[in-house]
Chains A and B, each alone.
Chain A
Amino acid sequence: MSDTITAAHAFLAVMRRDLHVYLSYRTRLVSQLMTALFSLTLFYYVSRLVHVSGFDSHSAYFGFVVVGLSLISVLYSCFSIPELVRQELIAGTFDRLLLSPFGAIRSVIAMSLFPMAFSFVVATLTLVLGCVIFGLQLHWSTVPLAIPVMFLVLLAFLPFGVLFAALTVVVKQGSVGTSWVIALLSIVGGLYFPVSLLPGWLQTAAKLQPFTAATDLLRHLLVDSSLGESPQTSLLKLAGFAAVLLPLSILILARSIRLGQRRGTIIEY
């Protein structure tokens, strides 16, 4: 029990460290809020400019895309883990984590806590700005349900970040693959437009990954959009991805670290 509490403190220490580092850059929060505001402004006017089939009003498309914008910050937070690992490798702090009783694997998982918590804040602020400035209509009766769903979404997305972190440990490059994966997922996940607009084979790809289920479910809860499949199916899909991919991604991370230790490349950056 004592070890569990000590480990929990270590997890929180990683999160606190990342918060302190984040706060040491004083303009970072303002910059991120401005980015969210600019994106909202852009899509607000895009929604007024074009008529999208399947949406009965401009506001309906704006609501659709605001939820997508909120989710993209969550996606970015998960895919920031490989870059964080790379920074640790360069700074020589990854060695310290690896040689600590807490260990590298738990440290990498802990590294995801602050970006994910912060993405949750950014997603919330994006929605708030959408409501306050651009008149976004939220479906308030189901908004509270979006919070546990968001946690499930984070768990379903996390394995992708851990897998890329494992790759970073081996090839020492983190962000090269992640940017195009995020772009691809934002297309097939229907973050900016409905997947029904995509060619048939891409629609199949859209159904095979968790992002479509996440966006569908969160849109349904936040702006009352219609669901492509039942909520239970979407929830099961997200839980399934988390349950299967999270242990698998952690195993692959452990193997990649062991490989680096065996080859001696763990010290390279």
Chain B
Amino acid sequence: MTQRSLEMTAPKLQVTDNTKLLTGATGVASDAAPLKLRALRKRWRKDLPLVLDDLDLTLEPGTTTWVGGRNGVGKTTMLRVAAGLIEPDSGRAEVWGVAPAENRVRYQQLVSFLPAGDRGLYARLTVRRQLEFWARIAMVPRERFRETVEHAIATFDLGELAERRVDRMSMGQRQRLRIAMTFLPDPEVVLLDEPLTSLDNEGAVLIETAIAEVLARDGAVLWCSPSGEHLDMTFDSRWIIEQGRLVAA
């Protein structure tokens, strides 16, 4: 990993055009943020302790946040709730004031999630077809479709791999593709679960570049990994999950 810093250069906006777009003409929620997790509670089974216990987290515009903690402590569960993949038992996840249950399509247009591991790819599709498929499913407008796919290929240095099938690629190359898919639709909020898995240094630099683009448009990035020791990046805030809650790292 390079020493390149992700120290924020983007202005911290109070109310953005995005906020207006999302909340409509009736007004803007004064406390709207790229991502807000409020009093999240989640228990997997009645006989197990809460994995999230009134967890609160707010991502400000143009910031990066790191959340760490032991294996199984609830990082991935928090990300899945934030992504809209699973519902909390109670509490609320919202992006610019919108919850998934209120406007699922809009929520999913704003949030992008990179799950941990190497799943989520179609093994027999080429890199280009995978990205094209994802751009369509992400409902990228057709006038921006071609440009978006090419931008993803260029940003993540996938040009040489573009016509290669996924099942013929290395784990690191697959991870680069997964990350490219995550950033492809220009999301406002990017949720990354152990993004450095299998990546070489060049791949890690490419993530930093993509993150910088998100921050430049006042988006926010939430990065989860068990340990932050291997990261040279500078995050605006760092937290650890302990007993279902966030404590400052």
**Residue positions of A touching B, CB distance < 8 A:** 2-3, 5-7, 9-10, 12-14, 16-17, 20-21, 24-25, 91-93, 95-103, 107, 261-262, 264, 266-267
As a 0/1 sequence over residues 140 to 164 of chain B, the CB contacts with chain A under 8 angstroms (1 = contact) are: 1110010000000000000000000
Q: Is the interface of B mostly helix, strand, loop or mixed?
A: mixed
A91 CA / B119 CA spacing, docked (Å): 6
| Interface pair B139/A264, CB less than 8 Å apart | no
Can you list the 8 inter-chain pairs with the closest CB atoms, starting with the nearest? Answer: A92-B119, A13-B136, A24-B124, A92-B120, A100-B137, A101-B139, A102-B137, A101-B108
Instruction: Please list 18 pairs of residues, one from A and one from B, whose beta carbons are closer than 8 Å in the complex, sorted by A's number.
Output: A6-B140, A10-B137, A17-B125, A17-B129, A24-B165, A92-B115, A92-B117, A96-B134, A96-B137, A98-B85, A99-B112, A100-B108, A101-B138, A102-B136, A261-B86, A264-B86, A266-B85, A267-B86
Residues of B within 8 A of A3 (CB): 139
Residues of B within 8 A of A5 (CB): 142
- The smallest C-beta distance from B129 to any residue of chain A, in angstroms, reads 6
B139 touches which of A16, A91, A100, A267 (Cβ 8 Å): A100
Residues of B within 8 A of A267 (CB): 80, 85-86
Residues of B within 8 A of A92 (CB): 115, 117, 119-121
Task: State whether the Cβ of B42 lies closer than 8 Å to any Cβ in chain A.
Answer: yes
Chain B residues within 8 Å of chain A by Cβ, number: 40
- The smallest C-beta distance from A195 to any residue of chain B, in angstroms, reads 41
A241 CA / B234 CA spacing, docked (Å): 59
**Chain B, range 149-184, C-beta contacts under 8 Å to A:** 165, 181
A264 CA / B125 CA spacing, docked (Å): 29
Residues of B within 8 A of A107 (CB): 137
Residues of B within 8 A of A9 (CB): 136, 142, 145
Q: Is the interface of A mostly helix, strand, loop or mixed?
A: helix
Task: State whether the Cβ of B4 lies closer than 8 Å to any Cβ in chain A.
Answer: no
A10 touches which of B129, B139, B181 (Cβ 8 Å): B139
Most chain B C-beta atoms within 10 Å of own C-beta, residue among A7, A9, A107? A9
B124 touches which of A6, A21, A99, A262 (Cβ 8 Å): A21
**Chain B, range 68-100, C-beta contacts under 8 Å to A:** 77, 80, 83-87
Residues of A within 8 A of B44 (CB): 264
| Interface pair A101/B109, CB less than 8 Å apart | yes
- The smallest C-beta distance from A85 to any residue of chain B, in angstroms, reads 14
- The smallest C-beta distance from B147 to any residue of chain A, in angstroms, reads 15
A12 CA / B132 CA spacing, docked (Å): 12
Task: State whether the Cβ of B20 lies closer than 8 Å to any Cβ in chain A.
Answer: no
| Interface pair B121/A261, CB less than 8 Å apart | no
Residues of A within 8 A of B122 (CB): 17, 21, 91, 93
